[in-house]
Amino acid sequence: MGLVEFRANLELITTLKTQGYDRKRVYEKLGGKTTLSYSQFVRIWNREFNETKVVKQQTTTSQKAGNQARNNRSSQQRDPFRRQTRVLHDPTMTDERRKEMFGE
């Protein structure tokens, strides 16, 4: 029903848009002519006028430093004597392989 109301007022909306009004002001100008919520109005506006904003995430210096440290860590050799954090479990291990590994 919201799309029907939007398209019924499309001429007024496009006129206000070409005059330089932003979405919020156009919605306020419609006032009692529609029962749309503002969020629904914005969704329909974006779809009808094909206006989807792409928000580019800015990386801060601390994020860059964290990324660089993470990259340095992955390029370094791991200590072979360091304790493993994941449990090594192989359910398909044969008896021969178990004897070879654990000397039983």
Query: Higher-confidence residue: 3 or 61?
Result: 3
Tens of pLDDT along 30-62?
A: 887 888 888 888 898 888 888 665 555 666 666
Is residue 22 assigned to a domain?
A: yes
Is residue 6 assigned to a domain?
A: yes
Long-range contacts of 43-51 (CB under 8 A, 24+ apart): 44/2, 44/3, 44/6, 45/6, 45/13, 48/6, 48/7, 48/10, 49/17
Alpha helices in 1-104 (DSSP H): 2-8, 10-18, 23-30, 38-49, 61-75, 95-102
CA dist 93 and 89 (Å) reads: 9
What integer best gives the mean pLDDT of the chain?
78
Is residue 88 assigned to a domain?
A: no
Q: pTM for the complete prediction?
A: 0.47
Is residue 41 assigned to a domain?
A: yes
Q: State the total domains in the chain.
A: 1
Is residue 43 assigned to a domain?
A: yes
| One-letter amino acid for residue 44 of the chain | I
